[in-house]
């Protein structure tokens, strides 16, 4: 994208002391409107980025292409600049001034925010309608034709969803070629097509869905809820939260490491999820230590599970959480999937669970029920328990198996795995 022809409008905002203060440009996309990208080079807190594309990468490819052009002296200083650039830089300067003066942030215009959200939802709705028609075409043409399709076949729909501001749905479509490989690929592909169809149908259902399911649909489609809105209007639950543990996953496409930290309310039994992200080579933020108890009030996102960061609470030594049997763990997962059918992981706590080996490793409960372990050789779990029954917190995924994240030894001490 670092081609001058892709950026018919671009420019540099000169700094008062010389050099460049910001670089901006309008990049031609697959839709009618260009992507608006800008970089604040000498911001009060370092370099900042802005782009109107729905990519979750920061900085996105448009910002990187703009910087590449600037580094090649292909972006000149301009006295004139679009209103959106002036507004963005002015907003950053105003926020910096408020922070330095200790003044509270100016209240947002609720009517403008409502109009913006309404336009976004209309665009997403049109994109999901097209997705529904496209999915019907895939089924009517037959899965036997899938191996003949190149990546362009899938990318066209993914790009259309990007233009419709449905980045989450676009990412799901982009993963379809990976499902059409290997053994039993028709089953995997049909499952993913079905989940996409369910997502499009769920979005059209709107308020007819339950509150949590509707929140999950909007999140999977790509309509995010701001942290400020969650803290101001989200459901709040106060409890003593047992920290079950955390697990890291890495996405090569986004070059991003995600840390899922799970908590469970001792009084309410509510499950809470804290998400944090970091670039490869960096460590995501972990606000709570495994095995501790946190007495706090959490603000929940609309899906009813994820919690907003920025909470205060009292942290102290914890006791092992209450565990259950394998059937109870599967029932809990089924209840979670009933609210969010696109969920593929869920935390479970097994009481008096012991490792066992047959053709592979399992974790068994006292009644003899077992779940397969995702790890091929659970040596760390065996080292902590000595093979004896223990309380184990784990993530369950029907596709991957059981991934232990914390085990409590005989003395009740939590050990992260």
Query: What is the edge-to-edge ordering of all strands in the sheet holding 390-397?
Result: 370-372, 361-364, 346-357, 390-397, 401-408, 414-416
What CATH number should be reported for the domain whose range is 225-317?
Answer: 2.40.50
Residue 273 sits at the vertex; the CA angle it makes with 104 and 116, to the nearest 5 degrees, is 50
Structure tokens at 57: 């990468």
The whole-angstrom separation of Cα 384 and Cα 73 is 59
Q: Which residues fall within 8 angstroms of residue 119, CB to CB, at 6 or more apart?
A: none
Q: What is the DSSP string of 61-77?
A: HHHHHHHHHHHTT-S-B
**DSSP-based three-state secondary structure for 84:** helix
Q: Give the model's pLDDT for residue 130.
A: 95
Q: Give the model's pLDDT for residue 170.
A: 93
Residue 309 sits at the vertex; the CA angle it makes with 125 and 295, to the nearest 5 degrees, is 130
Element (DSSP H or E) covering residue 219: helix 211-221
Range 326-416: architecture per CATH: Beta Barrel (2.40)
Q: Give the model's pLDDT for residue 284.
A: 84
Cβ neighbours around 265 below 10 Å, total: 16
Q: Render pLDDT for 71-83 as a digit per residue (tens, 0 to 9).
A: 999 988 887 888 8
Pairing state between β 48-51 and 35-40: antiparallel
Q: Give the model's pLDDT for residue 82.
A: 87
- 10-residue mean pLDDT series, the chain (417 residues): 91 75 88 88 75 81 93 87 84 69 54 82 93 94 87 91 92 90 91 96 92 94 86 89 93 81 94 88 85 92 88 81 95 95 95 94 95 93 93 95 94 90
Residue 265 pairs in a beta bridge with 241
Residue 256 pairs in a beta bridge with 251, 279
């Amino acid at each position: 994208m670092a081609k001058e022809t892709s950026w018919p409008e671009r420019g540099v905002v000169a700094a008062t002391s010389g050099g460049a203060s910001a670089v901006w440009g309008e990049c031609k996309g697959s839709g009618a409107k260009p992507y608006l990208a800008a970089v604040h080079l000498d911001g009060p807190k370092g370099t900042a980025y802005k782009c109107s594309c729905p990519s979750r990468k920061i900085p996105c490819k448009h910002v990187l292409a703009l910087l590449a052009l600037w580094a090649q002296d292909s972006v000149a200083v301009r006295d004139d600049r679009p209103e959106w650039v002036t507004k963005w830089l002015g907003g950053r300067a105003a926020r910096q001034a408020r922070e330095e003066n200790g003044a509270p942030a100016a209240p947002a215009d609720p009517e403008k925010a409502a109009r913006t959200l309404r336009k976004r939802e209309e665009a997403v709705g049109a994109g999901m309608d097209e997705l529904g028609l496209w999915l019907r075409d895939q089924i009517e043409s037959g899965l036997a034709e899938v191996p003949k399709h190149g990546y362009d076949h899938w990318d066209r729909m993914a790009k259309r969803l990007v233009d419709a501001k449905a980045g989450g749905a676009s990412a799901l479509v982009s993963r379809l070629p990976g499902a059409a490989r290997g053994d039993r690929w028709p089953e995997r592909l049909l499952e993913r097509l079905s989940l996409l169809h369910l997502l499009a149908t769920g979005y059209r259902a709107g308020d007819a869905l339950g509150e949590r399911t509707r929140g999950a649909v909007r999140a999977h489609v790509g309509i995010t809820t701001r942290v400020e809105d969650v803290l101001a209007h989200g459901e709040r639950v106060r409890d003593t939260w047992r920290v079950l543990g955390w697990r890291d996953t890495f996405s090569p496409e986004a070059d991003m490491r995600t840390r899922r930290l799970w908590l469970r309310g001792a009084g309410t039994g509510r499950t809470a999820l804290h998400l944090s992200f970091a670039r490869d080579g960096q460590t995501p933020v972990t606000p709570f230590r495994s095995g501790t108890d946190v007495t706090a009030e959490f603000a929940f996102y609309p899906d009813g599970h994820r919690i907003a960061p920025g909470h205060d609470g009292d942290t102290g030594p914890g006791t092992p959480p209450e565990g259950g049997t394998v059937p109870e763990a599967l029932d809990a997962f089924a209840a979670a999937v009933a609210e969010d059918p696109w969920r593929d992981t869920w935390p479970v706590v097994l009481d008096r669970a012991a490792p066992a080996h047959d053709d592979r490793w399992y974790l068994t409960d006292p009644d003899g029920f077992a779940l397969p372990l995702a790890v091929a050789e659970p040596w760390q779990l065996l080292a902590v328990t000595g093979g004896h029954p223990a309380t184990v917190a784990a993530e369950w995924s029907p596709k991957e198996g059981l991934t232990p994240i914390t085990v409590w030894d005989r003395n009740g001490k939590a050990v992260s795995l």
